[in-house]
Amino acid sequence: MKHTLLNTILLLFVAVLMSCGSSDCPLTNTVMQKVGFYNFDGSQLTVDDTLTVMVSDSVILNRLTGGTSVRLPMSYSAPADTLVFCFTPTGATMPATDTIVINKTNTPHFVSLDCARSMFHTITAVSWSRRSPNDTYTYAIDSVALINPEVNYDEKENLQIYFSVYH
């Protein structure tokens, strides 16, 4: 009887200990899109000059130099995000300004009450500013390719931006 009581207490202790120590929350729960930079020939580009990215009058990337890719946040509720890329080559007096519009669906992602809620996104379309014959603005982006439409905890590349300033 003494051993049965001791075994029961030990079993309850182990059960309580196991139920309190585990959480299935992801270690990295930040959802951001990954954008890679490329030359027109498909080779990866290192931005040696200055790149600033803005959304709704807020700077989300300030004066990047030396990067081959960036991770950018996405809005939780808007069906589209409009990103303004200001690219200033060394010695230039005026930046090249491009706009990329990312249409998407937003899906709440819930793991458990212990974890923060996240928002996953599926990119449905991408458009960007293009040069017209009467355009007086300078553009740096030649084209944008959608590589992986699913934006979640993975750090897979979602968009590839091809720059024309290095032609």
What are the backbone angles phi and psi of residue 40, rounded to the nearest 5°? -60, -25
pLDDT of res. 116: 79
pLDDT of res. 13: 60
**CA distances (Å), 56 to each of 6, 25, 84, in order?**
65, 31, 9
pLDDT of res. 133: 55
The rounded distance, in Å, linking the Cα atoms of 5 and 152 is: 49
pLDDT of res. 104: 98
Indicate the pTM of the whole model. 0.78
pLDDT of res. 50: 87
Weakly modelled stretches of the chain, pLDDT under 50: 17, 166-167
pLDDT of res. 56: 81
Given its phi and psi angles, is residue 57 left (phi above 0), alpha (psi -120 to 50 degrees) or beta?
Answer: left
pLDDT of res. 14: 56
